[in-house]
Chain A
Amino acid sequence: MGRSGTKTALLFDGRNDDDPTLTLLHTALVDGLTAAGWVVDDWRIRDEKMAWCSGCFGCWVRTPGECVYKDASHEGDERASRADLLVILTPVTFGGYSAEAKKALDHIIGIHLPYLKKLGEDTHHPPRYHKRHDLLAVGTVPAGQGGGVEAETFRRLVARNILNLQPGRQVNAVIESGTGEAEIRSRVRGLLADCGIRAPEPEEVSA
């Protein structure tokens, strides 16, 4: 994680299984970020032994900034605190993140301070660190449902999440299952560009 001068992306791999489209997206994200010179902290959550967040707020009022659990969740706050970009890869699940992705996300609220502060229109938690966290969320829906209500809910969710990561920016995309590899790689390059990350074209790499 985080050699001096390099930027780090923490990839919340929220796959529940080896879904082919999500797997293509995962590969394209890792390849694109790596080709752009980023360090990818690839967090395959389903392989972790991690309890559900107990809602104890210990990471706010007992050991500020650190989860009180000593399982994989304990590392979550540190990994997130060092990341310049948080990437969430997930099947769109009723318009939200998968349980796997959400399990890890629930454990990293320590990157926020507990205080309630008016930021913009609403109340939010200010950041604990000076580092800016951008957010890239990529979800998949069944074929033909890219314009459906769950896809729309997902976009709204990501837009709300970034309000708690101010002043970061958010980029989101909903990809339909069955999308081909070439299109996925093209879409991912576009998404990374929207995040200000220029991943070289394949021909640039081979040249």
Chain B
Amino acid sequence: MSASQAGGRKALLLGGSPKPEKSSSESLLVYLGEQLEKQGAQTETVRLIKAVRSEEATAELVAALAAADLVVLSFPLYWDALPGHVVRVFERVAAARAATTPATRPAFAVVVQGGFPEAEQNEVALQICRNFAAAAGLDWVGGLAMGGGGAIEGMPMSKAGSRVPSVVKALDMTAVALAAGDPVPDEAVRLMAKTTFPAAALRFMGNWGLRSRYKKEGDGRGLKAKPFG
């Protein structure tokens, strides 16, 4: 399908971060949504921390999902997997779709970012998403995995993009592909996994950022405190 033919494609964007602000996952999702709109897609965004609050809210999500051509989820890596509230939404969505014969099979793509520099640490989480897609009757079209997500610091990509230029390129390429009904390009996967700085530098910067934040917000016991040790 060409881009012009794809005009008006309905994209449902799912925010998987539980944080209302300063979320790197949200920054990536917002930017990808903007690029999809530039490609002619109509976007709607649902924050899963709100959708998980009641069965009714999840039912609304299930309906929105059924009406979409494309669903994109962005989330942070927790314990090598997805945050608990996203799993709860997955459970409910899969159960709801299994209880009926869904009339549509939307495409499903994922963006995951973790604090560790190595993007491959997100692989199991991507496979869980792929398994969910199979269970929920969605058409898996690929996932982007980013390491060193802390580099974004929850800033809009208009500010953070210069820190992670390969990530911006990956999202641009992905938007073009998804809007055209194509899967996530292999080149975008490669670019997304590419960090601007070596892993050792990312660890240094990440640890420096932690100490700085502790100086501002911490309780004075020290980052290495052992309250139960």
Residues of A with Cβ closer than 8 Å to B?
A: 16, 52-58, 60-66, 77-78, 81-82, 93-99, 102-103, 105-106, 109, 113-118, 122-124, 128-131, 149-150, 153, 156-157, 160-161, 164
A99 touching B223, Cβ below 8 Å: no
Q: Are B79's CB and A55's CB within 8 A?
A: no
Please indicate the chain A residues that have their CB under 8 angstroms from the CB of B116 in the complex.
116, 122-124
**Within residues 70 to 105 of chain B, which ones have a CB less than 8 A from any CB in chain A?**
76, 78-85, 87-88, 90-91, 94
Instruction: Determine whether the beta carbon of B135 is less than 8 Å from that of A64.
Output: no
Q: Tell me if B117 is interfacial: C-beta within 8 Å of chain A.
A: yes
A109 to B199, CA, bound (A): 22
| Partner-A contacts on B (CB < 8 A) | 17-19, 23, 49, 52, 76, 78-85, 87-88, 90-91, 94, 115-118, 121, 124, 127-129, 131-132, 134-135, 199-200, 202-203, 206-207, 210, 213-214, 217-219, 221-229
CA distance A160 to B126 in the complex (A): 13
Given contacts A55-B19, A61-B218, A94-B135, contact A99 B203 (CB under 8 A): no
Cβ of B18 and Cβ of A53 under 8 Å apart? yes
Extra pairs beyond A82-B228, A103-B84 (18, CB < 8 Å): A53-B84, A57-B213, A60-B210, A60-B223, A61-B218, A63-B227, A95-B127, A96-B81, A97-B81, A102-B79, A103-B88, A105-B84, A109-B79, A114-B223, A118-B200, A129-B226, A131-B229, A161-B79
A92 CB to closest chain B CB (Å) equals 9
Across the interface, do A93 and B80 meet the contact criterion of CB distance under 8 Å? Answer: no
Residues from chain B with a CB closer than 8 A to the CB of A149 are 127, 131, 134
- Give A97 to B87 CA distance when docked, in angstroms: 8
B218–chain A nearest beta-carbon distance, Å: 6
Contacts of A66 in B (CB 8 A): 227
Whether B84 pairs with A106 at a CB distance below 8 angstroms is: yes
Distance from B77 Cβ to chain A, minimum over Cβ atoms (Å) = 10
Cβ of B218 and Cβ of A64 under 8 Å apart?
Answer: yes
Q: Which of B78, B219, B228 contacts A77 (CB 8 A)?
A: B228
The contact of A65 among B81, B90, B129, B225, by CB within 8 Å, is B225
Residues in chain A near residue B134, CB distance under 8 A? 149
Contacts of A16 in B (CB 8 A): 91
The answer to whether A62 touches B203 (Cβ under 8 A) is: no
7 closest Cβ pairs, A-B complex: A99-B88, A102-B84, A103-B84, A94-B131, A116-B203, A52-B85, A99-B87
B217 engages A62 (CB within 8 Å): yes
- Once the chains are docked, how many angstroms separate the CA of A204 from the CA of B27? 60
- For this complex, 18 residue pairs linking A to B, each with C-beta atoms less than 8 Å apart, are A52-B83, A52-B84, A54-B19, A55-B18, A62-B218, A64-B225, A64-B227, A99-B87, A116-B117, A118-B200, A122-B118, A123-B202, A149-B127, A153-B128, A153-B131, A160-B80, A164-B79, A164-B80
Task: Give Cα A140–Cα B116 distance, bound, in whole angstroms.
Answer: 30
Chain A residues contacting B217 (CB-CB under 8 Å) are 58, 61-62
A102 lies within 8 A of B82 (CB): yes
* A102 touching B227, Cβ below 8 Å: no
Q: Is the pair A55, B23 in contact by a Cβ cutoff of 8 Å?
A: yes
Q: With the chains together, A82 CA to B226 CA distance in Å?
A: 11
Chain B residues contacting A128 (CB-CB under 8 Å) are: 224, 226, 229
A52 contacts across to B, CB distance below 8 A: 18, 49, 52, 83-85
Per the bound structure, the CA–CA distance linking A128 and B222 in Å amounts to 12
